Structures are given as C-alpha cells and as structure tokens.
Structure 1
C-alpha cells in the first residue's frame, strides 16, 4: 500500500497530535455528534500538553461538514506548528481516539486507508466519454474530478435499410471508432499522468469495445469492464455502484495477495525477506525495506512492545544501547507498531496487512527487501538479532 499521503509528516518537528475520529453525520443531530466527540478528545489532549493553537486549528477543521454520506472516519495529524494531514477514511473507528506524543499514531488510519482504491471511471458512448476520477473506499467521494471527451465525429447513426444506406452504416461505424480512439488517447494520457489503480470502463456496448481495443498497454493493464453504466438517463445507479464496489474489492484482495505471494516465494527461497521484530527493525534502520508486512492478529501485541526512536524516521532500535550505537543519545520510547510504520514511511516502503495468512511471520511482522548483503539478517543462518528459536531446519 502506498503511503504517499503521509509524506508531509516527514522531517516535521515533534511533538505530533493525531486525531482519529468517527465523522459520520448523525441522522438527527446534524454535525453535533462529531463536535461532541471532539470536545471529549480535546480535553484529553489538553491534559497531555497539546498546544492550544494546534487544537484550535483541528477544531476549526472538524467544524466544517465533510459532505460525505454514510459512515466514515477522519484522521487529522498536526506537528508542533499545525495540521499536516487531513484525510477522510472509508470506515469510522470503533472508538474515536487522540494521541499527543513524539510520533504520529498512524496505524489505525493506515489500516483504513488500505481500503482506498484510486480509479478512473470511463463512461463511453458513440460520441465520446466522461472521465471521472474516484477514490473507491475513501469517504471523500463528494469532490470528483472529471472531464468530457468528445470525439468530433458526429455521423454516428446507422440506418436499417439496405442498398446505398450501407455506406451510411459504414460511415457511422467509422465515426464510432474514431471517437473511441480520441477517448482512448485521453485515457492513456490520464493514466500516464496519475497512475490509477483501476480503469473502469462502462457505457454503450459497441463503444466500450472500440475504446478497449484502442487503449495502450498501461491502461489495459489496469482495465476492468463494468456493465450497467451510461451517459444518458435510465441507468440503475444502485446496481451499477454495487458492481463498481465489487471491482474495487476484487482489486484489494488481489493487491494484498500479490504482496503476500511475493513474500512467501522469497521466504521459501531464503532470499530478500526477514521476519521477527529484531530483524525487521535492523533492515528498516538501513533503508532496505520495500514492503512492511504486519499480521493483523499480532497488532495488539506489537502495540504492547516498545522500540527506541530518534528524530529521524530510520533512527530506531530495540534498545537504548543499539540506538546510541547509531549516534542517537537522547531517544524516545514508542510502541513498536507506530515506530515500524514511521520507518516504512521514511524509506517510501509500502505496508500490507496479512489476515488469516499462512505466512510464517515471527512476532507478527516481516519485510520484503529491496536489496540485501552479507550483513542482512538471514532466515537460514543465525544472526545477532534473530530469535534462535525461530530458525528452521534448512535441507
């Protein structure tokens, strides 16, 4: 999972204030329930020493209605100077929480963000298409960026007679195809610029076929055809949205499965993976990680363990002595789950949550590596940091 939306937090001054709140609009009370939740959280943050100016800014943001419908959450993260991240989430938290400390408490928000899928919806007919950018699974669906592509060839109607009218039919099909090529060119350009997770194609059956055939390789690689959409009246919106949601869920499952399959394959070969908290900390501190893998069932145990961290995201260790060895004499203690995610963000690694997975994740944590060398902790031989009890017999 890409964590680019959290990059504004890198290099920012501590302490951090993290608010993870149920922002669902109440049926009767309007926005009052969110305000009530915030008042309770603010009192807790004030006791913990959060700056009044930062709390005022967060309160002002929460006072503005999100415009999102249905249950949703919101995560707001501020550094010592002000708010840096404000993001709507597809699922509200089971309990609204707020944390003030040396690191942002991001794990719940990242788990919710894992559900978001960026999509370019292409609704095509014989004359052109509407291109709509959507974030499926994110609550911030209210503001959708869109554009209309008109092909410019308006001879798009066939006749049912024979004879000379066959020429009209040929001209109509040629216009359909040329209009589809214009749509495909716009889609290809949009995909190159923004790299959506999915390209959802719907609309007139013949137009969909022409657009599909004219797309470039990159767009085709993300393409999913979804029946039931259209540019005109008469579309069953509820049925169509259900199909869009199903396509997004299929993508989520495939995205997680792809990472976990790569991890399992590499682990089976004894290369470019590590597991156990000690070893994952070691490779995170060296910037070797491409994907951090966390077992959902072990998150509470990770939250109960502490790591030692410095001001930089890659400055982390399992002991004060190890932190001092990398040049940090005045570090802080923080829970392992938050420190691991912060270090992953600091090296532009992804985060994948494994649920009901057969992976052998010691301590509930593993990492896929970008590179390794002789000093990288090994799954096959003892290392200084590895738990000896986890070593498997290598045949």
Structure 2
C-alpha cells in the first residue's frame, strides 16, 4: 500500500496535532453536526496544550466541506508551522478524536489508507469521456469530485443501416470512434502517470470502451477494470452501478492485501526474504531492506500499541533500548516514541508500504513482520537463530 501522502511529515518540526474527524454531512443539519464534532475535538486539544493559532488554522480547513456525500472521515496533521496533511478517508472514525504530542499519530491514518482505494472513474461514449477522481482516499477537493471532460473532436460517429454508397459513411464513423478513443486514451495515460491511482474503473458504450482500452499504454492498461452499467449519458441506475463499483473496490482491496501476505508466506517458507519478531524487523528497517511492513490488526489496540522504542533524529535510527540505540552510533537527541509511530516512520522513510493482516492470517511474532527488498548473509533469517530472534519463531530446518 502506497503511503507517499504521509511522507511530507518526515523531518517536520514538533509538536504535532493529529485530528481524526467524522466528516460526514447529511441533510440540513449536516454542517452544524460537523461543526459540533470539531468543537468537541478542539476542546480536548486545548486541554492538552495545542497552540490556539494551530487550532484556528485547522478550524479554517475543517470549515470547507470535502464534497463527499457518503459517510467518510478526514485526517488533518499540523506541525509546529501549520497544517501539513489534509486527507479524506473512505470510512469515518468510530469517534472523532485528536492527539497533540511530539510525533504525529500515524497508525489510524495508515489503517484507514489500507481500506481505501484511490481510483479514476472513466465514463466513455463514442465522442469522448468524462474522467472523475474518487474523493475517498485522495487529497481533498473543494466543491466536490474533480471531473475532466475529454472530447475526441471527431463528431462523425453515427453509422447508417443502409448499404451501397453509405459504406463510406460507415467507414468514416468507425474511423471517428477510433480517433476519439485514442484522444481519451492519451489523456488517461497522462493522468495515470501524474497521479498514480490504484485503479481505473471504466464504463459506458461497449465498443468505445474496448477501443479506449486497446489504445492505452501499459501503465494505465494494467490498472483498468471494466464495470458494466455506467454511462456518460442519462438513464443510469445509479444505485446499481454504485453497488458494482463498491464490489470492484472491495475485490481490489482483498487482492492487494492477499498479494502481500502471499509474498510473506512464500518468503517465510523458504527462510529468505521475510522476517518476523520485533527485534528482527527493527534490524531490517534500520538497513533500509523493507518493501512492506506487515502488522497484525490487533496491534492497533494491544501489543505494540503499548510499547515504546528509542529513536534518533533520523527515521531509520531506532532500537528497543537507549543502549541499543547508542550501539549503532546515536548518542545525542535520543528519545522514546510509541512503537507504532516509530515503525511506520521508519517504513515511510524507505518508501515501504504497510499491510494489515487479520489475526491468524499469517504467522507473526509480536504482531509484526516484513517483506524484504533484498537480503544478504547478515540479514535475520527465519530458518536459523539470530541475535534478536525469539525462540518462538524458529522453524524446523530440513
């Protein structure tokens, strides 16, 4: 799971104010209810000592609606200089809350991102397409979802049913379809490269949809999923189409998570390419070896959630004790940090993803594991004892 949107928080000056809000607004009282939720959170932050000017800036951000109609959440993070992150979450938190402290409270945002799919909806006909960015999971947009219209410019798109001299009209129509599809594909390729959605959902006229897909470059083509029932015009059963899109997104989330867990299991099985247990994961994080951090869902509330680690000024400087941190050369600016924050911070610093596993889905010691980018002879192994390994995770070596 890509967490590039959290990277602007690395290296920012403390303290941090992290706000998780239910941003849902329904009916005539929606704005008032949203304002009440923010006021309750603000009072708690004031008691914790958050600066008034930071809270005023967050209040200005919160006052602007997200444009999302369905239930959703919002995470806002400010540092000592102001708001750094403002992002829509596909699901609202169970309860709006906030944290003021020396580090941003990242894990709830990461968990919400794991449940989110950033996608581009492409509604196609023979003249062009409408491209709509889903608000959930993307950077907030004011005034509603972003929609871009692409007109191919070739308007001779109607075939005749008669033969003879009208064969030429039919050929011109087919040529127009193809050229319009190429125009749509060119824009779509560019937008995918620029904004890197997780998925491209395409719907509409069957022939036009096929032509657009055939004209796409490889990067966009690999992201495309066709969903029946949508249209660029009127007469769409919006409820039925929205349900199909929801099913498509859920299937994608499942595949994304399962692909990581399968890689973890396979690497565990061969004793190379994955580690588990907190000590071993810390070691590979320090070395920049992690491609994907794997966390058990229960660590949100127990286990790692109750532990702290020692960290230095750089994200990859982390250890279980101050002594261990000193042993890797960090002698100044050492401080304790919640384990979950320190681990996610280190993962972000090496462009690693984070995947959550339901309890029992994979064999994790301490509720944590990692899929590696590379390994060498000094990498902790699942097949032989290592200095930091817990005996509980050792496997039989044949």
Map of 1:1-395 to 2, 5 A cutoff?
A: 1-25=1-25, 27=27, 29-136=29-136, 140=140, 143-300=144-301, 301-326=303-328, 327-395=330-398
CA distance in 2 between counterparts of 1:71 and 1:267 reads 39
- Pair 1:132–1:46, CA change in 2 (3 A): closer
Q: CA deviation at 1:97?
A: 1.9
Q: 1:63 to 1:127 in 2, by over 3 A?
A: closer
Q: Structure 1 residues 168, 228: CA separation in 2 closer, same or farther (over 3 Å shift)?
A: same
Instruction: Give the SS at the match of 2:295.
Output: strand
Instruction: Please give the alpha-carbon distance, in whole angstroms, between the structure 2 residues aligned to 1:195 and 1:77.
Output: 23
Contact persistence 1:22–1:72 (CA under 8 A) = yes
SS of the aligned residue for 2:389 comes to coil
Of residues 369-378 and 89-98 in structure 1, the stretch that sits farther from structure 2 once superposed is 369-378
Q: Which runs of 5+ in 1 are unaligned?
A: none
Check whether the contact 1:119–1:199 (CA below 8 A) recurs between aligned residues.
Answer: yes
Shift of 1:104: 0.7
Separation in 1, partners of 2:93, 2:331: 35
Deviation of 1:274 after TM superposition, in Å, equals: 0.8
Measure the CA separation in 1 of the matches of 2:245 and 2:136: 8
Q: State the distance in 1 between where 2:172 and 2:88 align.
A: 48
C-alpha offsets along residues 91-120 of structure 1, whole Å, 9 cap, x if unaligned? Answer: 111122221222111111111122222222
Say which is worse superposed, 1-10 or 123-132, in terms of deviation.
123-132
- Residue 258 of structure 1: how far off its partner (Å): 1.0
Report which stretch shifted further, 287-296 or 371-380.
371-380
| Structure 1 residue 54, shift from structure 2 partner | 1.5
Verify the 8 A CA contact 1:295 1:355 in the aligned structure 2: yes
- Distance verdict in 2 for CA 1:55–1:229, change over 3 Å: same
2:153 is paired with a residue of what secondary structure? Answer: coil
CA displacement at 1:135 relative to structure 2: 4.3
Q: Secondary structure at the match of 2:99?
A: strand
Moved more, 263-272 or 372-381: 372-381
- Residue 188 of structure 1 deviates from its aligned partner by 2.4
Q: CA deviation at 1:331?
A: 2.5
In structure 2, stretches of 5+ residues that fail to align are none
| TM-score, scaled to structure 2 | 0.92
Separation (CA, whole Å) in 2 of partners of 1:256 and 1:170: 46
Deviation (angstroms), 1:28: 5.5
Alpha-carbon separation, structure 2, partners of 1:38 and 1:130: 35
For the residues of structure 1 that align with 2:37 and 2:123, how far apart are their CA atoms? 40
Q: Distance in 2 between matches of 1:111 and 1:358?
A: 17
Is the contact between residue 204 and residue 232 of structure 2 (CA under 8 Å) also seen in structure 1? yes
Give yes or no for contact 1:68–1:139 (8 Å, CA) kept in 2: no
Q: CA deviation at 1:9?
A: 0.7
> Counterpart of 1:99 in 2: which secondary structure?
strand
CA-based RMSD of the aligned residues comes to 2.1
Q: CA 1:167–1:383 in structure 2 vs 1: closer, same or farther (change >3 Å)? A: same
Residue by residue, what CA displacement relative to the aligned partner does 1:160-182 show, whole Å, maximum 9, x if unpaired?
Answer: 22322233223322222222222
CA distance, structure 1, for counterparts of residue 308 and residue 65 of structure 2? 37
Query: How far apart, CA to CA, are the structure 1 residues paired with 2:11 and 2:208?
Result: 49
CA offset digits 1:189-241 (Å, max 9, x no partner): 33333332222221112211222222222222111111122222212222222
Counterpart CA distance in 1 for 2:205 and 2:289 is: 48
Which one is further off, 326-335 or 296-305? 326-335
Residues 331 and 211 of structure 1: is their aligned pair in 2 closer, same or farther, counting only changes over 3 Å?
same
